């Protein structure tokens, strides 16, 4: 039987193509999670939440893990109530609007879900702190909560980026393509230039770490 050998260069190109496809799927899911959370919560509230539409889509990467955490801890809770709690947690942690937070918490209390909310809020604070530590390790600093929220899209894709950093084809062109896909997905308020600069720092740090491991 003839043995087919795939060169390392071709392998890297295949990994890059696979990453781009997977990345697009995950980014689309992030946006949909944010929009669905807001849609369900909008139905429960007495005032218009449409002004949060853009914000909710850009923080879907944070909402997804919170959704799953609440489901794992509370199997009886409805999807709509989970979404209400998640929007409440995200508004508390990232959105500087006391009236909005008070209205959301009031609705959560009305439904007898304060214990679930408090547990999810603690988990959310841990997740936010972990994200901040990760970004600070790359050399990024933040002046406000909105800036941190703009990077929450990373949470579901950081594993993919790590895999790509160790086995993909990292070029200025692929970094540009990744940044453009992220912007086009509408999952962050960051510009393509800011995302591109982040990716350059991330991949440079990863490459440095791999180099140190090889020489240790």
| Nearest partner of 175 among 146, 210, 149, 207, judged by Cα | 207
State the residue for tokens 């988990």: 123
What does the DSSP 8-state code read for residue 190? S
Rounded CA separation 114/185 (Å)? 33
Alpha helices in the chain (DSSP H): 8-44, 53-58, 60-73, 79-94, 98-110, 114-137, 145-149, 158-167, 172-184, 192-214
The pTM is what?
0.82
What does the DSSP 8-state code read for residue 169? -
Rounded percentage of the chain residues whose pLDDT exceeds 90: 37
The per-residue pLDDT for 54 is 64
Residues 208, 125, 159, 148: is their CA dihedral positive or negative?
negative
For 15, the token pair is 């990994």
Helix, strand, or coil (residue 112): coil
Q: Which of 91-100, 101-110, 193-202, 204-213 bottoms out in mean pLDDT, i.e. has the lowest? A: 204-213
Of residues 159 and 166, the one with the higher pLDDT is 159
Q: Which of 2-11, 77-86, 127-136, 144-153 bottoms out in mean pLDDT, i.e. has the lowest? A: 2-11
- The CA-CA-CA angle for residues 204, 205, 206, to 5°, reads 90
Rounded percentage of the chain residues whose pLDDT exceeds 70: 82
pLDDT of 109 > 90? The answer is yes
Collect all residues with Cβ–Cβ distance below 8 Å to 125 and sequence separation of at least 6. Answer: 93
Q: Could you give the count of Cα atoms lying within 13 Å of 6 in the half-sphere of its Cβ? A: 7
131 Cα distance to chain centroid:
9
Rounded CA separation 143/140 (Å)? 10
- The CA-CA-CA angle for residues 24, 29, 30, to 5°, reads 100
The number of beta carbons lying within 10 Å of the beta carbon of residue 95 is 19
């Amino acid at each position: 039987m003839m043995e087919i050998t795939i060169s390392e260069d071709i392998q890297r190109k295949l990994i890059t193509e696979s990453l781009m496809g997977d990345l697009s799927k995950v980014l689309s899911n992030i946006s949909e999670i944010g929009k669905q959370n807001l849609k369900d919560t909008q139905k429960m509230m007495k005032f218009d939440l449409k002004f949060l539409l853009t914000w909710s889509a850009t923080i879907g990467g944070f909402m997804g893990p919170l959704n799953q955490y609440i489901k794992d801890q509370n199997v009886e809770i409805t999807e709509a109530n989970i979404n209400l709690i998640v929007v409440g947690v995200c508004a508390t942690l990232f959105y500087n609007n006391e009236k909005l937070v008070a209205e959301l918490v009031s609705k959560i209390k009305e439904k007898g879900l304060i214990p679930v909310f408090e547990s999810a809020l603690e988990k959310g604070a841990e997740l936010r702190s972990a994200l901040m530590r990760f970004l600070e390790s790359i050399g990024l600093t933040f002046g406000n909560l909105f800036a941190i929220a703009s990077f929450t899209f990373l949470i579901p894709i950081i594993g993919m980026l790590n895999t790509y950093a160790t086995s993909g084809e990292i070029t200025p062109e692929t970094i540009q393509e990744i940044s453009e896909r992220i912007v086009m997905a509408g999952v962050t308020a960051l510009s393509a230039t800011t995302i591109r600069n982040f990716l350059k720092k991330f991949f440079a740090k990863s490459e440095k770490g791999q180099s140190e491991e090889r020489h240790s």
